[in-house]
Amino acid sequence: MKAKKPSRGKKSKAKALLLGLGLDNQDGHVRVTRGENFQLVGGSKDTHERMQEKALKFNEELKKRGKRLEQLGREEFIEICEKT
């Protein structure tokens, strides 16, 4: 029989986060953007702007579907990535 862990009164909720990492920065500027469901770090100005656009469109699609990021299955996640 396995020993149960003591309950702490709170249920653990799964949390998901999109992480964007840009590696093409050569101007020395550190770019960081945080938003609902995402954090973006680095990249050139153009790359960082593209990551921002993609993350915002991804969130818009989640809202249209009435879902949270952590509720997506792999196939639906990929479908949204390809659509946005």
Model-level pTM? 0.77
Q: What share of the chain is helix, strand, coil (3-state, %, to 5)?
A: 40, 15, 45
Residue 79 has pLDDT above 80, yes or no: yes
Which pLDDT belongs to residue 1?
A: 52
Half-sphere CA count of 40, side-chain side, radius 13 A: 19
CB atoms within 10 A of CB 43: 21
Average pLDDT for residues 32-61, to the nearest whole number?
A: 96
For residue 42, the surrounding DSSP H or E stretch is strand 38-42
Which pLDDT belongs to residue 5?
A: 54
Joined tokens for residue 70? 């952590």
Structural domain boundaries of the chain?
18-83
**Mean per-residue pLDDT over the chain, rounded:** 88
Give the pLDDT band (50/70/90) at residue 12. low
